[in-house]
Structures are given as C-alpha cells and as structure tokens.
Amino acid sequence: MRNHPLKPFPKDFLWGASTSAYQVEGAWNEDGKGPSVMDVAKHPKEVTDFKVASDHYHRYKEDIALFAELGLKAYRFSISWSRIFPEGTGEVNQKGIDFYNNLINELKKHHIEPVVTMYHFDLPYALQKKGGWLNRETIEAYENYAKTLFENFGDRVKYWLTINEQNVMILFGELLGTVDRNAENPKKELYQQNHHMFVAQAKAMILCHRMLPDAKIGPAPNISAVYPISPQPEDVLAAHTFSSLRNWLYLDAAVFGRYNSTVWSYLEKKQAIPEIQDGDMAILKEAKPDFIAFNYYSTMTVGANLPQKVSNNVREDQQMAFEEPGFFKGHPNPNLPKTEYGWEIDPVGLRTTLREIYERYHLPLLITENGLGAQDRLEEGDVVNDDYRIDYLQKHIEQCRLALDDGVELIGYCPWSAIDLVSTHQGISKRYGFIYVNRDEFDLKDLRRIPKKSFYWYKKVIASNGEDLTNE
C-alpha cells in the first residue's frame, strides 16, 4: 500500500507526439528537395516507399489543426536535411526553409511547442555517394546544416534533437543500409561512422549554445533496459556488455564526452577501433547536452554466448536483441506479451529505463518515441477502435508517473506517432498514429484524416494532465 499520493505530472509537462520527415511528408522530390538515402532505399515488393507517405507536406495545416484539437503541447518532427540542402551542403534551398518556417509558425499559432530532430535517418544521398558518415567531411556538412537551422528557426525553436537513434544506425547498419554488408570489416566502418557522428553531434551542441543561449539541445538514441536471461553470473555479465554496447556508449559520449570502457575493449577485440583525430575528444568533452531525449519501445533480454558459436548475425529489426559470439545472445522474454509485429510489450521496463538513465546522467529526460504498431481497421462510419493502442499507451504513461514519483526528472512524453505514417521498413499497414490516414500500401485513396479512438482518449489524458487515463 502507498502511504502518500503519487506526485502529479508537472504543470508544464510536454504532452506531445512524434513523426519524422521521410515517413510523413511525401513530396519527396518537390520544391527543390534532393533525394535522401531513404528515398533511394530498396523496399520489399509488398510495402510502399516514402514518395507520398502521409502527404503531410501538402496537408500540414489540416494536420496541425487536428494536433491542436488533440491538445498537443509539443510536436516532435524532423527536418529533412536534403530539403534544406539538396546536395547535403552548398546552396540552401529557400523553398525548404519556407516549408519549415510555415510549419513552425502554424504550430506556434496553436501554442504547440516545436521539438525539432535535426537528422532522422535521412542523410542526403549526395553525401552518401561521397562515403556518407565514413567520410569525415560529413561532420562539416552537418555542422553547417545545424548552423543554417539555428539561424533560420532558432528564434522560435527551443528544443533541438541532434540525431535520431544513432545507436540503431550503428547496431543495425546493415538493415538500415548505412553500411555495405560486403565490406571487409563492416564493424570497423560502422564504428568509424559512429565516431564521426559523435564529433558532429558535439559540434552542433557547442554551436547551439553559442548561437542560441536560451535553447536546449540533446541526443535522441533508442534506450532500453537489458535483462539477463537468468541470475547466472555469465548471463548477468552478458547483459551488462550488451547494455554498454546498445545504450551507454552513446550517452556516455554525448554527456561525459568519453568512450565507454567496456565497449572500447569490445572494439579492440573486433579490430574496430575508430580513427580519432587530435582534438576530437576535446570537442566531445566541451559539448554538454541540456537534456536527454530517448525512444523506448521495449526491453531486451540476453544471455552469455560461447566464443566458438558461429553467429548467423541476423538482425531482424531495431527492437530485437541479436548475438555476438563470445559476448551475448538475445532471447525472447517469456514474461512479456508481444505486439502483432513481435515486439515485446514492457511498460515496467520503461520505469526501469527511466531510472537507469536518470541515475547515470542526472539530466532532464524527454521520451521522444513510444507506441504500438498495428494493422488498424477502418470501420463503417469512419471509426477506428484501437483499444490495444490505448492499453499500451495507458500502461506506459502509468509507469512514467511512477518514475516521476521515484524522483526521475521527466519533462515530456511524445509517443510515436502523431498521425499514421510509413514504417521504416514495414509499410503503411503498420500504423502507430492517433489519426488514421486513409490509404493502403499502393492505393492512395483520398488520404483523408480520421481521428481514432486513441485520439479522443489521449485528448482526455492531456486535458487532465495525466490524471485521467481511463478508457471509457
């Protein structure tokens, strides 16, 4: 029994929702936009590409009006780098600037706080052709892009996120196409890319503080608590290694400006130590985030792995643990239910994750993704009864409140996604939104917007500042 009432959500809590540019905007080659790596990515033949997506580029006013009706206090979206710089660097595309100016102004008009991801997987293809993040020049391109964003939008944007899920791009580089599977040592290349992203991120944080003293900036990795499959010491050790590799490497670099020692030793064993130039570590040390944003969908469970075991190295998607001979091996958690896409559902794991991050770094935390992908059904009368999504979100918000009560400084919750959009590699049928977009994989229909049952539920949650989570 509790002997005190739970602490309430803070008054200025950022109740929000998230999207990313390539998944929601469409207009992939309009108004001067250059292609990004996502535009040229290959898709399985049964799923759509990102060319039209949810057509938010043309319908942002209608969408933001719905976000306002939902009562959002914050909207986390990403800026498409190749809309601003079609070649990744060089000439600015004014029409790209205009689009985001209009979008931000529209949000402001409705008193919705813009939370801007500067880079969400969609590197300009022109930069990829020159080696992408393996090429050190991409650091400079990113810094220049960051400067352009701060100059153009810094008068209205207070919250900046440097890079979405850098850890996913590195751990699942083969899946996201960030590395050539046939490279001699893909790991070495990936951790070199990773190092360049660390430096780029640090430079952006330094620049942001210099140019916009009132703004706040932070990283946005995908973080999840890692459980050992058993209390056997070897399994506990394996879980620790995996957590360092998946979680702490990224936040230790962003917050403390240093490499995680367990990961460093792992990289030595894998002959994957990145080349670090003089001055890089000083830049990492100088940069300090103001908060930590993170995406959370589930936890991971791992056990020890024999050194001689040959890894099949299958990495199905970003929410599945994988295996490394001699280090760890992912296992399903028998205690957790799964979504229809096989992702384990673990609300309590969110509380554990929040505590772990907060105790380690003592910075305010912002949840920038959390949600349930499902094949929603549009029923007669324009109704979508997504009670399973309400159930998922309700249980996670409950755990946020408990974490607040534990003393964690949580400043906002932005579930994925504000509106239906195209999944990173599973098409539009895997829906996450509060608002249904009427289209199929290949039939664009009328793209009309239909608030789902979860929309009305979340509206009530926001209006009551998280006091009323019931689904009635």
Provide the token pair at 275.
């080349």
Which region among 229-237, 244-252, 374-382, 418-426 touches ligand BGP (by CB under 6 A)? 418-426
Position 20 contacts ligand BGP (CB under 6 A) = yes
Active-site residue (options: 25, 189, 344, 369) = 369
Instruction: Name which of residues 127 to 166 contact ligand BGP (CB under 6 A).
Output: 164-165
HSE of 348 in the Cβ direction (CA atoms, 13 Å)? 4
Closest distance of CB 368 from ligand BGP, Å: 8
Task: Give the phi and the psi of residue 130 in degrees, each rounded to 5.
Answer: -95, 15
**Between 267 and 306, how does the x/- string for binding to ligand BGP read (CB under 6 A)?**
----------------------------x-----------
Q: Which of 165, 323, 324, 344 is catalytic?
A: 165
Q: What minimum distance in Å lies between the beta carbon of 117 and ligand BGP?
A: 9
Phi/psi of residue 406, each to 5°?
-75, -10
Q: Is 165 a catalytic residue?
A: yes
Contact positions with ligand BGP (CB under 6 A) in 318-357: 318
How far is CA 416 from each of CA 148, 238, 291, 367, 368, rounded to the nearest angstrom? 27, 30, 19, 10, 8
Q: In the complex, which residue's CB is closest to ligand BGP?
A: 423
Neighbours of 407 (CB within 10 A): 10
Helix, strand or coil for residue 228? strand
Rg of the chain over all Cα atoms, to the nearest angstrom: 21
DSSP 8-state secondary structure symbol assigned to residue 427: B
Q: Does 423 bind ligand BGP (CB under 6 A)?
A: yes
426 binding ligand BGP? (CB under 6 A): yes
One of 125, 145, 242, 416 touching ligand BGP (CB under 6 A): 416
* CB of 353 closer than 8 Å to CB of 360: no
The encoded tokens of residue 168 equal 């996913």
Residue 379 parent element (H or E): none
As measured in angstroms, the least distance from the Cβ of 72 to ligand BGP is 18
Window of 223-231, 417-425, 441-449, 455-463 that interacts with ligand BGP by CB under 6 A: 417-425
By CB under 6 A, is residue 168 in contact with ligand BGP?
Answer: yes
Shortest Å distance, C-beta 172 to ligand BGP: 9
Q: Does 81 bind ligand BGP (CB under 6 A)?
A: no
- Confirm or reject binding of residue 53 to ligand BGP (CB under 6 A): no
**Cis-peptide into 18, omega within 30 deg:** no
List the alpha helices (DSSP H) in 158-303: 166-171, 173-176, 186-211, 233-243, 249-251, 261-269, 280-286
The residues binding ligand BGP (CB under 6 A) are 20, 23, 164-165, 168, 222, 295, 317-318, 369, 373, 416, 423-426, 430
Query: Which residues are tagged catalytic?
Result: 165, 369
